[in-house]
């Protein structure tokens, strides 16, 4: 077993570059890290380019032999602990990561789903990843991300999706107003969350709707608000006026689930 010990190795240099959005977009690849995410990648038949294993973790039996057997079928390289520390994005790494090829870009929205989720300027990696997990949990297969939102393929976002990244098609919109106008042509009702709304999230029907979640600090942009058919807010009984973007998204999306189950 050959172990890479040089930081100047071309493979290592190329993986390290994928920490930056610019190179992820150029190479159309991203990094996933940790045992669960790599097991999910294998299970979901993701396009695994390379798997990197910390040789010390194998020696110390920190990685399951069954997983090592599974990854042997892929392009797998072993590196020293020092080299692994250069490419990991985690404080306490599990000693395994993979480079995944992105799916071919497809900006076509599937209008067979009766609910669309649009992110308008959501930035925080934890929020992005959690929203993707929530979208996955209610059985949707796509999400629309407006330009100016955070990078879905950021390593922190990918980790927080807990594998949902493999199942959700990410449609990146370069012109969200144009995208929303197209959605409305397909007879979808556009619903934006807003603290200024008079209606509660419980006052509207979500069948054949597009729900828009806005920026953590500023909410849904005014241009998008102007295109919305409904503005809704989450009723709160306490002093707090607003909620974390991913919490708000979860509450709204599970009102959709409640209505669907009742129907």
The DSSP line for 135-199 is HHHTT--EEEEETTSPPTTSHHHHHHHTTGGGTSEEEEES-HHHHHHHHHHTTPEEEEE-TT-SE
Residue 68: the pLDDT is 84
pLDDT tens-digit profile of 8-61?
999 999 999 999 999 999 999 999 999 999 999 999 999 999 999 998 877 666
Residues 6+ apart with CB under 8 A from 79: 3, 4, 5, 12, 52, 53, 54, 55, 87
Q: Report residue 109: phi and psi, to 5°.
A: -80, 135
Please, where in the chain does CATH 3.40.1280.10 lie?
A: 115-262
Q: In what order do the strands lie in the sheet with 76-79?
A: 3-4, 76-79, 47-54, 96-101, 29-33
Residue 169's nearest CA partner among 201, 193, 195, 145 is 145
CB of 243 closer than 8 Å to CB of 149: no
Q: What angle do CA 207, 216, 23 make, to 5 degrees?
A: 95
Query: Can you give the pTM of this predicted structure?
Result: 0.90
Q: pLDDT band at 258, cuts 50/70/90?
A: very high
Predicted confidence at residue 195, as pLDDT, reads 83
Domain with CATH 3.30.1330.30 in the chain: 3-101
**pLDDT, tens digit, 9 for 90 and up, residues 190-213:** 999 988 888 999 999 999 999 999
Look up the CATH architecture of domain 3-101.
2-Layer Sandwich (3.30)
Taking 90 as the threshold, does the pLDDT of residue 63 lie above it? no
CATH T-level topology, domain 115-262 = Alpha/beta knot (3.40.1280)
pLDDT higher than threshold 80 for residue 240: no
Look at 193-207, 233-247, 249-263 and tell me which has the smallest mean pLDDT: 233-247
Closest CA to 25 of 129, 122, 105: 105
Counting residues of the chain whose pLDDT is more than 70, the rounded percentage is: 97
Q: Return left, alpha or beta for 11; rule: phi > 0 is left, psi -120 to 50 is alpha, else beta.
A: alpha
């Amino acid at each position: 077993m050959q172990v890479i010990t040089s930081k100047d190795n071309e493979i290592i240099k190329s993986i390290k570059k994928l920490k930056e959005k610019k190179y992820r977009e150029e190479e159309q690849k991203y990094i996933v890290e940790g045992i669960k995410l790599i097991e999910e990648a294998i299970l979901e038949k993701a396009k695994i380019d390379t798997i990197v294993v910390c040789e010390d973790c194998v020696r110390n039996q920190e990685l399951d032999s069954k997983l090592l057997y599974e990854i042997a079928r892929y392009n797998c390289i072993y590196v020293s602990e020092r080299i692994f520390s250069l490419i990991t994005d985690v404080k306490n790494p599990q000693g395994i990561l993979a480079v995944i090829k992105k799916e071919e870009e497809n900006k076509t929205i599937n209008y067979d789903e009766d609910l669309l989720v649009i992110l308008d300027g959501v930035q925080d990696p934890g929020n992005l990843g959690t929203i993707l997990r929530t979208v996955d949990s209610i059985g949707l297969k796509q999400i629309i991300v407006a330009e100016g939102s955070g990078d879905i393929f950021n390593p922190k976002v990918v980790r927080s999706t807990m594998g949902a990244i493999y199942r959700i098609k990410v449609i990146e919109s370069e012109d969200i107003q144009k995208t929303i106008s197209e959605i409305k042509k397909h007879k979808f009702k556009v619903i934006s969350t807003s603290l200024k709304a008079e209606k509660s999230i419980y006052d509207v029907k979500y069948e054949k709707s597009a729900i828009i979640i806005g920026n953590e600090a500023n909410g849904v942009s005014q241009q998008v608000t102007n295109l919305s058919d409904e503005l809704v807010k989450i009723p709160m009984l306490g002093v707090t006026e607003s909620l974390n973007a991913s919490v708000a998204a979860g509450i709204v999306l599970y009102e959709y689930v409640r209505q669907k189950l009742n129907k």
